[in-house]
Structure 1
Amino acid sequence: MNAARVERIAIFRALQLGDMLCCVPALRALRRAYPKAHIALIGLPWAHSFVERYAHLVDELIVFPGAIGFPEQEETDAHLPAFYDAMRERRFHLAIQLHGSGGVANDIVEAMHARINAGFLKPDETPRDGVFIPWPDDLQEIARYNALMQAIGIDARDMQLEIPLTQQDTRECDALIASEGLDTTRLVLVHAGAQLPSRRWPAERFAQVAAALASDGWPVALTGSGGEAAITASIACMPGVDAIDLAGKTSLGALAALVARAQLVVCNDTGLSHVAAAMRTKSVVIASGSDTHRWAPLDAERHRVLADYPPCRPCAFRECPYGHPCALNISVERVLDVARTQLPAEKLETDAHC
């Protein structure tokens, strides 16, 4: 594909933070291939902050109005006609469906009438005009989107995640560390939230892990969004827990900066797992329900994923109807054993001689 003839590119990916982070290597490859093109992300309203942070990769956010089959927003097709009209007026040279396996997501991209379309096809999907490849079900999430870039003719072998930090991120993180009295040389972050209840390990088990690590001498902080404050507050109030509750107190940038300085992250298989991978901070990830082959971090030594595999996995439910065996079969003792192997033992040994 002649880079000089591709001046306007649309990327359709209307998903949340963790999903967006996983496509950053593909976006990086796309930008290298088309350094002068105007690249627009068609995504969710929250992604304004994503575009601001990744301005070196994406030039603009176009807010997707929602559609039937897209549960991240109100499921209605009422706003699609106006959306399609606006997209056709933009006369994109290339429209890339990075949202998922195909189907209706491809319909949406095709309705934009770009010169060339690209994306994925479900196994039983009719072939489409453009550059479409079978959904690579055997690949890890980051590799899937790189595979599509390769099909387009773009060199996309680098799979390293990144979260660029600004001076404001660093200042905000420094202020939080000072105000909360955090010792980042020993800090463990515990993140008990996840968007779907089916993806959450029980809060009381996170509380037991937090209490045990604090008893070992590791200061613990609880992280989460403002919407997850009830979860972190319940953990902070449980017997034996001595942890600082940071829920709702950090922007993405400040949280990433704090993760970069922490010794360990203990979390569900959610966006913070990808933040830890991007910042190269060791983690223990309790993966409930999710497809670990698809979503597990690439560095299996730095990021230890704990999962159980009942027949119902991978899970398609918001709330588990089967008693949540994939979560309950991961014990507190198992998480603690792995967490302790991930922590730098020499810190506590040094302190013991003081």
Structure 2
Amino acid sequence: MRRVALVRPRVGLGDLLCSWPAWRALRAFRPDLRVTVITWPETAPLLAHMRREVDELLPFPGFPGIPERPPDPLAWPRFLRLARERRFDLAIQTYGDNPAANEVTARLGATARGGFRAEGWWRDEDAPTYLAYPREEHEVWRHLRCVEHLGVRLRPDADRMVFTTLPGDDEEFRRLALEHGLRPGRYVVLHPGASCASRRWPTDRFAQVGDALVERGYAVVIGGVAGERDLADAVRGAMRRPAHDLTGRTSLGGYALVLRHAALLVGNDTGPAHLAAAVGTPTVVVFLSGDPVRWAHPGPRHRVCRVAVGCNPCPHLTCPIDFRCALRLPADAVLSEVDRLLW
């Protein structure tokens, strides 16, 4: 085995960050491998930070049954040609419990296939290189179990989250810190965004947390991507105290350093919570529809805020009823966890 394809067509920052420890373990165990990740082209900025573990990105054109993006059938023949030109020795399905991902893996022309065996997948169903999807594990350990099943020996710290910065990230952070007067350890980042509405705690409650943090002597930074501008504006508009808005003003590496030097991140169950864990920053994460068993990071430096309402966790992108998991979680409950970490 020399040429390996990792089929991981996910777009979420958290999804790929939680895959990273397994890819790091694979590289440590077999540094001679050439590793190609098959995923969406817009993930290239994140994969650039994984240059020690990943040799190349092969852009994925989509496929029926892979929900992240509509498929581009006209691009499929070229994609298959590029995949088969690489003559993969092994193609690993690391997407999850989805038969369509197994179908994609089977079409790459690799000598051998393995990884997650999705429920309902029938081809190669007896191959020992496949692992029944480990639903009860944390997301990091799901992927570690996958490479372990294929023979990778895991080190004791295999589940440690990591993030590698790039040249220029430090200068970006220094510029932002100087412009906003940010002192390491004396500011807290609020991240009110999330990819779906069912994971977004109300902005007025983020504002209450922000005001309380300013009263406790901390500067408040509101972070997010440009598409979360309306959420950032809503938080700032509801705050009585000033806040520094960096929404859409940082690269991924720059935001990672903003988090690294922060005293704390308070945010929703979304990618920046994993990014904060990867750079060693304590977190208070609000879980609404999401599953903390799968996504919360362990240890006393990472606190979960959640109200069990009988229907969460749930798969809905938008709550179909009264969003009780969000509305029954008051700002005081989140501030209690914040104080546990700051004092």
For Structure 1 versus Structure 2, the TM-score category normalised by the shorter chain is over 0.9
**C-alpha contact 1:173 1:254 (8 A) present in aligned 2:** yes
Number of the residue aligned with 1:115 = 111
Q: Distance in 1 between matches of 2:189 and 2:246?
A: 10
Deviations 1:96-139 (A, max 9, x none): 11111241111110111211111112345431535111111111
Match of 1:39 in 2: 35
Query: Residue 274 and residue 239 in structure 1: after superposition, are their counterparts in 2 closer, same or farther (change >3 A)?
Result: closer
Q: Give the match for residue 11 of structure 1.
A: 6
CA distance in 1, matches of 2:120, 2:64: 20
Superposed counterparts of 1:178-327, under 5 Å: 178-299=178-299, 301-327=300-326
Aligned mates of 1:204, 1:69 — CA distance in 2? 37
Instruction: Point out the more displaced range, 315-324 or 144-153.
Output: 315-324
- TM superposition score normalised by structure 2: 0.94
How many angstroms apart in 2 are the aligned matches of 1:62 and 1:123?
A: 26
Name the SS for the 1:142 alignment partner: helix
**Equivalent residue number for residue 91 of structure 1:** 87
- Residue 239 of structure 1 and its aligned partner are, at CA, apart by 4.3
Matching residue of 2:58? 62
Q: Which 10-residue stretch deviates more, 177-186 or 197-206?
A: 177-186
Q: Is the 8 A contact 2:61 2:71 kept in 1?
A: no
Secondary structure of the residue aligned to 1:101 is coil
Say if 2:99 and 2:120, in contact at 8 Å, map to a contact too.
no
Pick closer, same or farther for the CA change 1:295–1:321 going to 2, 3 Å.
Answer: same
Does the Cα contact within 8 Å between 1:97 and 1:118 map onto a contact in 2? yes
Q: Cα offset for 1:76? A: 5.3
Name stretches of at least 5 consecutive residues in structure 1 with no aligned partner: 1-5, 346-354
Tell me whether 45-54 or 105-114 shows the greater mean CA deviation.
Answer: 45-54
Percent identical among aligned pairs is: 35
- Counterpart in the other structure of 1:143: 141
Change (3 A) 1:27 1:265: same
Question: Structure 2: which 5+ residue stretches go unaligned?
Answer: none
- In the alignment, the residues of structure 1 paired with residue 31 and residue 337 of structure 2 have an alpha-carbon distance, to the nearest angstrom, of 43
Residues in 2 aligned to 1:312 and 1:79: alpha-carbon distance in whole angstroms: 40
Q: Distance in 2 between matches of 1:169 and 1:295?
A: 27
Structure 2: distance between partners of 1:113 and 1:311 = 46
| TM, length-normalised to structure 1 | 0.91
Letter in 2 for 1:24: W
User: Displaced runs of 4+ in structure 1, greater than 4 A?
Assistant: 75-78
Q: Which residue of 2 aligns with 1:349?
A: none
